[in-house]
Structure 1
């Protein structure tokens, strides 16, 4: 195709401009690349100064608040509720009557047990008295007689014609013997019956008392499960802390709220049971100070101390092994509620007025580390450093450095690939292929783009 003279001239001008622009860009790239390569070779040294301060080492866990005096109140003896004397929100004192159930059946059991005990005691008395027998026997070789006048009568000193002998009748001599025989086996059996009847009566009396539910602790009524006329079950003789009440308080191994017919809560002595990772749990010790932050009120900080650390593991939500610890809150707990979630930070190590450095300023692990000290003239030297408490971001220096020493931190270099351009790309490129001619279509070999116009 034949090119018109005017068009041919335009093509030549555009081509010349493109070559000039490309050459200028290459010159700028070369100059910048050369300059930044030199800059890249120079490390930007950052330093930290050894200073005195407080180094804190902490571990964190999560848990919920609970009071050891929170208690579920349940009847020992079930039955039909005849009265519920409290409502949610009421404040009660230990020993106060909370509710009652019908006593008819329980009273009948007491009466029957009392009658059985009375009969058993009577049998015991009889057994101890034994069986009495009376026997009469003749005394061997013994006899006796009776006679009339066995002598003589004289009148005027003369015998009246002879003696008259009285006739004698022998009478055997006897003795009466009374014996009492006690059957030891019968006494033992009777005593056992008394003991059994006594136990039965005691249980019946306890069951009768258990128809009245009283508060085992001071507190506020948090919930009431039933109303008058409902039938409630009893605990059937579980251990109690007060008449008629079975108490289920929160423990150091469980943070769940108690549940029962009536639940009493009391913020006094509030605690927090938290879970810690197995590594952090090894750093926990009784008496360590802690800070408790309520998740619902992040601006509320409570002081606490570690009461105990469980030696039994639990599985966290992610399946990781965790260990529980119970902490006693020492701040005001009057406005706290059972079940509030919290984050716990325990101070496992502390060094006050200690020489300290950022952890990043030292190399190595354990108590022996190394540091690069930067002198005033810029020269550096490596020194051995002994550390004490290793805090969350700083570490205590016990030997090897003094206050005011400057220690080199991590070394950084200017970014990118060292060519002075972001991502190492030539200005105007797409990151693939070659450079695009200004005004061209983009990627491809240099000079592949065409200028517009006709």
Structure 2
């Protein structure tokens, strides 16, 4: 292998799952009126020559992952007590405010339980009020009975209140899985919503001849706000921190959306391939009217960003006797110029010494066509676009700036 080929191979070696993304890099100045030409030769070889303008740009190092889009906040609401459903006041798609009634249970047995508890409390209070002649042991027993009766009344009131199911936050009703006449119960525990409001469980109870709810009676979500529950490879997770910026590409979408890392899991999981992964939760930036829960998505987390980096295409470099050179274009002539290189970012390499912004370098390669084929000349054009994140978060190791609209 030639020294030039060895140099290129060393700069283009794989970087596991890490990717180097070019945000704004090198503008190609095309020779010959806006393009470059492949010059036909009788032996089938084609000489390709292009001129690239050296310029400063921004480079991003990213870590990738994949996951599922979920509502940012969701509550599964269930009755805390057993009873027959007497009303359901919402349907899927309805908007509710915090505290709105969404369903109720029959309260006849609960009313009776509260009345009984109150009667027991009154009796205990009378006993304590008239036990001055009793022994100290009996007085202590009477006082304990009074405390128990007071607790029973409190519990009976709580049970009666729990027969009315209310929205725990303002949102949209995602599903209703209970109907009038169903028997709802409380023996199984439910899940807490993502915003921190707890739900309670549904279970069978009472009249077993009636239908019984086995899922949440009512599910409420916060509209148009989402998170991505994603998995990141164990090799990359040490680079992922809360607050880093993320590019999100939902399955089937042509335009990415953006977000920030909300939470990084500490316990490894086993992915579908058998490799260890870590859970990462990403908050999607802004309200999203065209995003749907359950959609899969790929994520790209910016773990490092370096700005104002002077680069040239890696193909412009040659190595001789341990030194690196470029062919610098000066007017109508060229000059072999020694340079000092830094990091390699995909197809571009950083220049730390030997060139300045605005210099031009020549890239010449040889391509071979099928034997006997004469190529009359084909034209190719290329370049790099610019991009940025519209809001939220900031990557580490920033140099000279950050994301538009994001934290510095």
Q: For residues 225 and 218 of structure 1, what CA distance do their matches in structure 2 show?
A: 19
Q: Which has the higher helix share?
A: 1
Q: Which residue is 1:124 aligned to?
A: 128
Q: Which residue is 1:332 aligned to?
A: 287
Q: Which residue is 1:234 aligned to?
A: 186
User: Which of structures 1 and 2 has the bigger CA Rg?
Assistant: 1
Deviates more, 1:298-307 or 1:200-209: 298-307
Is contact 2:339-2:353 (8 Å) kept? no
Q: Which residue is 1:195 aligned to?
A: 147
Post-superposition Cα deviations, 1:96-142, rounded to whole Å, max 9, x if no partner, equal 11111111222222222222222222333334x245xxxxxxxxxxx
Is contact 1:93-1:217 (8 Å) kept? yes
Q: Which residue is 1:29 aligned to?
A: none
Q: Which residue is 2:229 aligned to?
A: 273
How does 1:277-288 map onto structure 2 within 5 Å?
277-288=233-244
Using the size of structure 2 for normalisation, the TM-score is 0.64
Is contact 2:85-2:106 (8 Å) kept? yes
Give yes or no for the alignment of 1:223 onto 2:175.
Answer: yes
Q: Which residue is 1:135 aligned to?
A: none
Is contact 1:292-1:343 (8 Å) kept? yes
Post-superposition Cα deviations, 1:246-278, rounded to whole Å, max 9, x if no partner, equal 527xxxxxxxxxx61111122244222221222
SS of residue paired to 2:62: strand
RMSD of aligned alpha carbons: 3.7
Give yes or no for the alignment of 1:374 onto 2:340.
Answer: no
Distance 1:239 1:263, change over 3 A: closer
Q: By how many angstroms is 1:355 displaced? A: 0.7
Give yes or no for the alignment of 1:305 onto 2:257.
Answer: no
Is there any run of 5+ residues in structure 1 with no aligned partner, and where?
Answer: 1-34, 132-181, 249-258, 423-454
Post-superposition Cα deviations, 1:213-255, rounded to whole Å, max 9, x if no partner, equal 11112222221112111212225788989xxx9527xxxxxxx
Correspondent of 1:53 among 43, 50, 57: 57
Give yes or no for the alignment of 1:314 onto 2:269.
Answer: yes
SS of residue paired to 1:312: coil
Deviates more, 1:326-335 or 1:314-323: 326-335
SS of residue paired to 1:299: coil
Q: By how many angstroms is 1:401 displaced? A: 4.7
Q: Which residue is 2:100 aligned to?
A: 96
Is contact 2:226-2:284 (8 Å) kept? yes
Is contact 1:310-1:325 (8 Å) kept? yes
Q: By how many angstroms is 1:192 displaced? A: 2.2
SS of residue paired to 2:153: helix
Is contact 2:51-2:362 (8 Å) kept? yes
Correspondent of 2:160 among 190, 202, 208: 208
Distance 1:343 1:363, change over 3 A: farther
Correspondent of 1:71 among 75, 84, 87: 75
Is there any run of 5+ residues in structure 2 with no aligned partner, and where?
Answer: 1-41, 201-214, 374-408
Q: For residues 318 and 148 of structure 2, what CA distance do their matches in structure 1 show?
A: 78
Q: By how many angstroms is 1:334 displaced? A: 3.6
Distance 1:293 1:43, change over 3 A: closer
SS of residue paired to 1:113: helix
Give yes or no for the alignment of 1:107 onto 2:111.
Answer: yes
Using the size of structure 1 for normalisation, the TM-score is 0.58
SS of residue paired to 2:308: strand
Q: Which residue is 1:346 aligned to?
A: 301
